[in-house]
Amino acid sequence: MGKSNKKSSKKSQIAIQKSVLCQELKPFGIGLVGFGTIGTGVVHTLTENRDVISKNLGLSLKLVKIVDIDVKKDRGVKVSPALLSTDYRDATRNPDVQVVIELIGGTHPAREIVEDGLRNGKHVVTANKELISKHGRELHETARRHGVCLLHEASVGGGIPILTPLLTCLKANRIKQVVGIVNGTTNYILTRMEQEGVEFENALKEAQQKGYAEADPTSDVDGYDSAYKIAILTSVAFGKGVRVEQIYREGIRKVTRRDIQYAGELGYRIKLIAVSRATEGGQDVRVHPALLPLSHPLASIHGVLNAVYVEGSPIGSLMFVGEGAGASATSSAVIGDVIEIAEGRAQNTGRLRDLYEKTEIVGTEKLSFPFYMRMIVDDKPGVLADITSILSEKCVSISSVVQKARIADKAEIVWLTHPSPEKSVREAVAQIRKLRCVKEIPSVIHVM
């Protein structure tokens, strides 16, 4: 045995040396489409870390083409004018390009560009969460048909390695739930509301001034961005494809600093969470603000940080924390994907990435949660009795009730319920709202 083994080991040694040699001779060509903030970050990192990348990789990554509608603007990075083009086909159909990086965002024309790349035998790397959450399945199928890879680590959690670990290291696990704080803008706003005691509108303005929020903040504050990301996490962690429009989605516009303060007094912190859970009734996927107990790992994720919490068997619980946006962090994930492909690993990631089943989301009406409710009521006898009798009729049981501030002749009451069917809680709230003694129910928030 010893002898034949020596021979074969010598052979494999030569083979390894040869392959290293070949790789070193042939750079891996990149066609970058989208030369905005993230695109500039990618070019910057490729230049700045050229030595690290080639040392770690044993082959060099080469920018072959950079495409953008505006190729005149100075981005503060040195780029040979010969690399620039306004026609994406200079990237997607370039014989020197092995991988197309799509960083223009949105679904159109991003989808056409990605498809053109895949159909022309190019691997594709993208950070585009909207595109992948809406058309990932078809695009993955196209990639598979053409024998190339479509990677999108940067589409969730920016630079945080989360999709790749789920698809590799954690593959032996039965994933039970994934809960993410996957939108840095809203987490920043909620953190400022808590720390500075300001209202949503002021915190939003501050986030806009600091460049954390867009002029039109809808995608972030109304939870669309988080919904895209939890749809992608659902496909990767559970192998289930859900339609983004089906995801229950509630943003943070209605969260007030008063709720944040009361939550704190009760031992909770309010976060915008994106959840995906395997339940007996089906896949539970939703985005909404929630009161997290202060002891929950996600409760200590502050500011623009993102975090993804994973529960599975046998792993138990895990959390990945990092910068969920920004050109630098995102470029790490984008180039990481390019390296996955260049080193030939992505080609072997197997099934999960593209063979996920289409699945329906279980309606929140079938699920039970504890709820936090804040009500403004007349400060007079019998009010509590009226409210509790409705709650009791709907089988919503109360775990605690606190009378908070008194405003004129009104009282503010905060309720925490035991886990109750969401449908019953919503119905009870609708009935309570109709009571004469109830002036307002400003907040009904999930508790985790």
Catalytic residues: 229
User: Shortest approach of a second copy to residue 210 CB, angstroms?
Assistant: 16
320 near a second copy, rule: CB under 8 A: yes
Cβ 185 to a second copy, closest distance in Å? 17
CB of 404 to a second copy, least distance (A): 29
Rounded to a whole number of angstroms, the minimum distance from the CB of residue 145 to a second copy is: 5
Total site size for a second copy, rule CB under 8 A: 75
Smallest distance from a second copy to CB 237, Å: 11
Contact between 313 and a second copy per CB under 8 A: yes
Give the nearer residue to a second copy in terms of CB position, either 305 or 444: 305
Task: Tell me which of 60, 84, 105, 119 binds a second copy, using CB under 8 A.
Answer: 119
Binding segment toward a second copy, per CB under 8 A, in 43-51, 184-192, 258-266, 276-284: 43-51
Question: Using H for helix, E for strand and C for coil, what is the string for the chain?
Answer: CHHHHHHHHHHHHHHHHHHHHHHHHCCEEEEEECCCHHHHHHHHHHHHCHHHHHHHHCCCEEEEEEECCCCCCCCCCCCCHHHEECCCHHHHCCCCCCEEEECCCCCCCHHHHHHHHHHCCCEEEECCHHHHHHHHHHHHHHHHHCCCCEECHHHCCCCCCCHHHHHCCCCCCEEEEEEEECCHHHHHHHHHHHHHCCCHHHHHHHHHHCCCCCCCCHHHHCCHHHHHHHHHHHHHHHCEECCHHHCEECCCCCCCHHHHHHHHHCCEEEEEEEEEEEECCEEEEEEEEEEEECCCHHHHCCCCEEEEEEEEECCEEEEEEEECCCHHHHHHHHHHHHHHHHCCCHHHCCCCCCCCEECCECCHHHCEECEEEEEEEECCCCHHHHHHHHHHHCCCCEEEEEEEEEECCEEEEEEEECCEEHHHHHHHHHHHHHCCCEEEEEEEEEEC
Question: Does 92 interact with a second copy (rule: CB under 8 A)?
Answer: no
State how far the alpha carbon of 425 is from the alpha carbons of 41, 210, 222, 246, 368, in Å.
47, 38, 22, 21, 9
Instruction: Establish if 44 lies at the interface with a second copy (CB under 8 A).
Output: yes
One of 171, 205, 210, 380 touching a second copy (CB under 8 A): 171
- Closer CB to a second copy, 63 or 411, in the complex: 63
Does residue 183 interact with a second copy by CB under 8 A?
no
Site residues for a second copy, 352-371, by CB under 8 A, read: 352
Interface with a second copy in residues 229-288 (CB under 8 A):
239
In the list 16, 402, 405, 407, the residue contacting a second copy (rule: CB under 8 A) is 16
String marking each residue 121-160 x if it binds a second copy according to CB under 8 A: x----------------------xxxx-----x-----xx
Nearer to a second copy, 173 or 208 (CB): 173
Residues 323-352 that bind a second copy (CB under 8 A): 323, 326-329, 331-333, 335-336, 339-340, 343-345, 348-352
Which member of 27, 105, 297, 363 binds a second copy (CB under 8 A)? 297
Which listed residue (315, 398, 441, 448) binds a second copy by CB under 8 A? Answer: 315
Position 318 contacts a second copy (CB under 8 A): yes
Name the residue nearer to a second copy (CB basis): 355 or 407: 355
